[in-house]
Amino acid sequence: MQPITIRLHATDNVIIALKDLPPGTDVPDLAPPLVQAIPRGHKIATTAIVPGQNVIRYGQIIGVATQPIAAGDHIHTQNLGMGAHDLDYAYASEHNPQPLPNAKRTFDGYHRQDGSVGTRNYLGILTSVNCSGSVAKMIAEACEKDGWLRDFPNIDGVVAIVHGTGCGMSGRDEGYDTLFRTLKGYARNPNFGGILLVGLGCEVMQIPDLIGAGRMRKDGNFRYMTIQQTGGTRKTIDRSIAVLKEMAVVANAHKRAPAGLEHLMI
């Protein structure tokens, strides 16, 4: 037998007719039989409601009774109106948090020396100044074209990280500090298995200032050079590829291993 009414919330004092109900209809859990016709979708009182008492639907107050309402009566505009309420509008007061899974959830990542865990294993090329940005991109492109990365299956690729500053700035201002923190953040990102830092040589953001006291990266797989000291663009590209191949040997030794989700960096 198909239900003829529905209660939308356990605290409701009304039920909803699922079809047109003529007088005399027996409604489950409601006595006596209906004395009024109830249109489909309309409300039926489940208990006596006195004037001024709240009418509850969906577990929420939808109005107050404007006249006495008996159980089984049709509730509509003829006996339902607005009322003044002084209520506590606390939200989520009935929130029931779901239990966390007992089993520790893990992912397979690259465990770094500092305790961080990466989801990728790239070789990164950082630049201390915008002047070396083009060369950094050329180095990354040459590595991909040469195909030597195929010999290192645990390395995802070579990535150049460039920017538009590093010179024409003060060495003691906010811009300098922001760039330094950004470069250090990339250098220590666990998704990099090794970092090559390339500068021009005459910029304000000097490489010796960046790398002092191991501030950039401490796992040993960190190299640096400047275009001016290396002898120009072509020599820098060739030298960088040779250096990256050496770094790849170390980075390729890293293999994925299970790590707790608390190590996952989004």
- In the chain, where are the structural domains located? 1-83, 109-263
How long a stretch of residues is the chain?
A: 266
Tens digits of residue pLDDT in 164-208: 999 988 888 899 999 999 999 999 999 999 999 999 999 999 999
Tens digits of residue pLDDT in 106-165: 999 999 999 999 999 999 999 999 999 999 999 999 999 999 999 999 999 999 999 999
| Sign of CA pseudo-dihedral 124, 126, 131, 133 | positive
**3-state class of 36 per DSSP?**
coil
CATH number of the 109-263 domain: 3.40.50.2300
Query: Residues 190, 265: contact at Cβ < 8 Å?
Result: yes
CA distance 80 to 78: 6
Please tell me the predicted confidence (pLDDT) of residue 172.
80
pTM over cut 0.75: no
Please tell me the predicted confidence (pLDDT) of residue 87.
67
Q: Spell out the residues 6+ positions from residue 246 whose beta carbon is closer than 8 angstroms to its own.
A: none
Query: Residues 180, 205: contact at Cβ < 8 Å?
Result: yes
CA distance 232 to 228: 6
Q: Which fold does the domain 1-83 belong to in CATH?
A: 2.30.130
**3-state class of 193 per DSSP?**
strand
CA distance 201 to 215: 19
